[in-house]
A and B are shown apart, each in its own frame.
Chain A
C-alpha cells in the first residue's frame, strides 16, 4: 500500500472549492474540460493558418495578436490563479487525445525522457528564447507559425508513439514553465490522506474504464506538488471515495515546504530570471547601441553579438545564485547542489511577477490590435491607438505586480531558511542579497522605455 501525502493546506485551514455542489458537478461532468478544450483547438487551428498564410506584418495578423498580445500575457496570470489548468485545455493536449484515440500505440515513455526530460525542457526553453531573437519568431507571424508547427509535429509524434501526454510531462517547455509557476498558484488539487489509506482501486492513476487516469502520470494519492497537475478533473471523476480536494491556498505556500527539491527544477527557475532579463533588455532603448558595441568587437556578426549578450544575461543570474548557494551552503555545511536546489525555488515568485509585468505592457499597450484585427476579419476596417489604458496606469500595475513578486520571493527564501531552526538565518542572508540584486535589476529594467510586439 502506498502512503498518502499530506496536502499543503492542512484540514483545519482547508477551503475546499469542491464543497460547492455546482462546481463539483461541473468538474465531474463530461463537459469539463471539453467545453473549453475543443473551442481552444478550433481557435488554435485558425491561429496556425493565420500565422503561416496570413499577413506578414505582425500588427495586421490576428494570429500574432491572439498569440503574443493576448494569450502569452494571460498565461502566467492563469497559472497563478488556476495552476496548470491551461495544460488541460491546451490544443496540443487535445491533439494528443485525438491522435491517441485513433492511432496511439501507447508505448511506455523511454527512461531517458523520464530522467532528463526537465533538462531537455530547460535546453529547449533557452534555445527557443535565443532563436526568437536571432530569427525574430515573435515579431514574425511566419516565425511564430513555424515554431508552433514544429511543436505540433513533436506533439503528434509523441502522441502516436507514447502513452498518456508524454509531451506535456517530459518535453513541453511551456509545461516546464507552468509547472514552476503553478507551485506559486493559489489553488491546489490534493487527495485526502485518510480516505486514500483505505483505497484499493487506484483509479485516479489507472482510470475507471469510463474516464482515463491522470494524463500526465501523477498519482494524486501521493502528489505533493501542483507542478504536474493540470486540473483536468479526471481524478475527481474517477475517485470512488470522493477523496480529491481542490483547496484555495496562500500564494507561494507550496514553495515553502518542498520535501524533495530538485536541482534541475531550481535551475529552470533561475534560467527564467535570465530569460525575463533578455526579453526586457531587447525591448529597451539602449539595446541597439549595446548590440552595435558587441558587433564591433565580434567581427560585425549580429548572431555572435546577440549570443554573447544572451550568454551573459543567462549566466549572470545563475552565477549569482550559484555564488549565494555556495556561501549559504558553507554556512550550514550543506552541499552546493542541495542548497541551490532548496533556495532556487524562491525566485519563482519574482519570475512570475516579472513575466506578468513585462507582458502586461503588451496586453494593455497593444491590446486594441486584437480588436482591430478581429474587426477586419468581419469586414469592419478600423485603425488607431493600440493602447487599452494609459501608460501611467500600466506603470502602476507593473510595479505593483513586481513589488508583490519581490516580496513573494524574499518571503519564500525566508520560509525555506526558517525550516532549519539552527542555521536558517546564516543560510538565508546570501540568498537575500542575491534576491535584492535581482529585484533592483528588474525594477530598473521596468523603468526603461519598451518597444512593441505588434
Chain B
C-alpha cells in the first residue's frame, strides 16, 4: 500500500511547486477630501471613512507643489473654532518589490502610495476634534488657499452594544459577588 501512496503524494507536491500566486493590491486609506489649486492637486486621507471626534490622523498627498516646506492645514469648526494640524513630512519606505505596486506585487495600499511618491509630496499630522458637525478643511500652500467641507461624526462603538456587553458582564459579576457574600464563609 505504501508504494501506491508515494506517486500520488509526489504528483501533488510537484503540482503544488509548479504553481504561481500573484497578489492584488488592496485598498488604501480613505479619502476625506480632494482639493485643487492651479497646478497643485491635494488629497487628504483620513484614518477612518469620515472624520470623527477624538484624534484624527490626516495624511496629505500633494502633487505639483513648488514649495514643499510650507504647507499648512487647518480645520474650522461649526462654532468658529480653528484647529491647526501640525504637518510633518512622511517617510516613504520601499517594499521588497522595490516599492512599486504591480499586479504581481505582494503589498497593499502602501505600495500604491510609494509608487505615487515619485511625483508627490507627503505629509502627516494629528488633530483632536471635539465636536461633531460640518467642519471646513483649509489647505494653504504656494501662496494659495483652498477649502472644502467635511463631516465629523461621533467616534467609537454603538452605545447599544456597549450597554449590552457592559450590562451582561457587570450584571454577572455583581450576581457572583452577591451570591458569594451570602454564603456562610463569604466565599463559595
Residues of chain A whose beta carbon lies under 8 Å from any beta carbon of chain B? 52-57, 59-61, 99, 102-106, 142, 145-146, 149-150, 152-153, 156-157, 160-161, 285, 361, 364-366, 368-369, 372, 376, 380-391, 393-395, 398-400, 402-403, 406-407, 410-411, 414, 417-418, 424-425, 428, 432, 436, 439-440, 443-444, 446-454
A160 touches B90 (CB 8 A): no
A366 touches B108 (CB 8 A): yes
A391 touches B172 (CB 8 A): no
Residues of B within 8 A of A385 (CB): 93-97, 99, 101, 105, 107, 110-111, 114
B141 contacts the other chain (CB 8 A): no
B103 touches A376 (CB 8 A): no
Cα distance, A390 to B49, chains bound together (Å): 30
Instruction: Given A53-B155, A399-B16, A452-B25, decide whether A99 and B173 contact each other with a Cβ distance below 8 A.
Output: yes
B95 touches A387 (CB 8 A): yes
Residues of A within 8 A of B23 (CB): 361, 365, 391, 394, 449-452
A152 touches B110 (CB 8 A): no
Residues of B within 8 A of A365 (CB): 23, 106-108
Closest partner residue, chain B, to A365 (CB atom): B106
A53 touches B54 (CB 8 A): yes
CB distance from B19 to the nearest CB of A (A): 4
Residues of B within 8 A of A417 (CB): 1
B25 touches A105 (CB 8 A): no
Closest partner residue, chain B, to A428 (CB atom): B1
B179 contacts the other chain (CB 8 A): yes
Instruction: Given A152-B169, A384-B93, A411-B5, decide whether A57 and B19 contact each other with a Cβ distance below 8 A.
Output: no
**21 contacts across the A-B interface (CB closer than 8 A):** A57-B46, A59-B108, A60-B47, A146-B161, A149-B165, A153-B164, A153-B168, A157-B169, A285-B24, A365-B23, A365-B107, A384-B94, A384-B111, A385-B96, A386-B110, A387-B105, A393-B96, A403-B16, A410-B9, A452-B26, A452-B27
Q: Which of B15, B30, B88, B106 meets A381, CB within 8 Å?
A: B88
Residues of A within 8 A of B46 (CB): 57
Residues of B within 8 A of A99 (CB): 173, 176
B91 contacts the other chain (CB 8 A): yes
Residues of chain B whose beta carbon lies under 8 Å from any beta carbon of chain A? 1-2, 5, 8-9, 12-13, 15-17, 19-30, 46-49, 52, 54, 57, 59, 88, 90-97, 99, 101, 103-111, 113-114, 122, 124, 155-157, 161, 164-165, 168-169, 172-173, 175-177, 179-180, 188
Q: Which of B8, B110, B114, B175 meets A410, CB within 8 Å?
A: B8
B22 touches A391 (CB 8 A): yes
Instruction: Given A364-B106, A410-B5, A428-B1, decide whether A384 and B114 contact each other with a Cβ distance below 8 A.
Output: yes
Instruction: Given A387-B106, A447-B21, A450-B21, decide whether A382 and B47 contact each other with a Cβ distance below 8 A.
Output: no
Q: Which of B19, B155, B165 meets A447, CB within 8 Å?
A: B19
Q: Which of B106, B109, B175, B180 meets A390, CB within 8 Å?
A: B106
Q: Which of B105, B110, B173, B175 meets A384, CB within 8 Å?
A: B110
CB distance from B156 to the nearest CB of A (A): 5
Residues of A within 8 A of B26 (CB): 59, 451-454
Give me the 3 closest cross-chain CB pairs, A-B, nearest first: A385-B95, A452-B26, A384-B93
Residues of A within 8 A of B27 (CB): 59, 452
B48 touches A384 (CB 8 A): no
CB distance from B90 to the nearest CB of A (A): 5
Q: Which of B20, B103, B110, B155 meets A368, CB within 8 Å?
A: B110
B113 touches A384 (CB 8 A): yes
Q: Which of A366, A384, A411, A446 meets B92, CB within 8 Å?
A: A384
CB distance from B50 to the nearest CB of A (A): 8
A382 touches B107 (CB 8 A): no
CB distance from A395 to the nearest CB of B (A): 5
A150 touches B188 (CB 8 A): no
A395 touches B21 (CB 8 A): yes
A376 touches B57 (CB 8 A): yes
B96 touches A388 (CB 8 A): yes
Q: Which of B24, B124, B169 meets A156, CB within 8 Å?
A: B169
CB distance from A260 to the nearest CB of B (A): 25
Residues of A within 8 A of B92 (CB): 382-384
Which of the listed residues A364, A369, A372, A385 has the most CB atoms from chain B within 10 Å of its own CB?
A: A385
A451 touches B16 (CB 8 A): no
CB distance from A144 to the nearest CB of B (A): 11
A454 touches B165 (CB 8 A): no
B169 touches A153 (CB 8 A): yes
B1 touches A369 (CB 8 A): no
Instruction: Given A385-B99, A386-B108, decide whether A56 and B12 contact each other with a Cβ distance below 8 A.
Output: no
B99 touches A384 (CB 8 A): yes
CB distance from B44 to the nearest CB of A (A): 13
If A55-B48, A104-B180, A384-B94 are given as contacts, then 18 extra A-B residue pairs at C-beta distance below 8 Å, sorted by A number, are A55-B47, A57-B30, A60-B48, A105-B179, A149-B157, A156-B173, A365-B108, A381-B88, A385-B94, A385-B105, A387-B105, A406-B9, A407-B12, A414-B2, A432-B5, A449-B22, A452-B108, A454-B108
B165 touches A152 (CB 8 A): yes
Cα distance, A454 to B29, chains bound together (Å): 10
CB distance from A363 to the nearest CB of B (A): 11
Closest partner residue, chain B, to A154 (CB atom): B168
CB distance from B3 to the nearest CB of A (A): 11
Cα distance, A251 to B98, chains bound together (Å): 38
B165 touches A403 (CB 8 A): no
Cα distance, A399 to B12, chains bound together (Å): 10
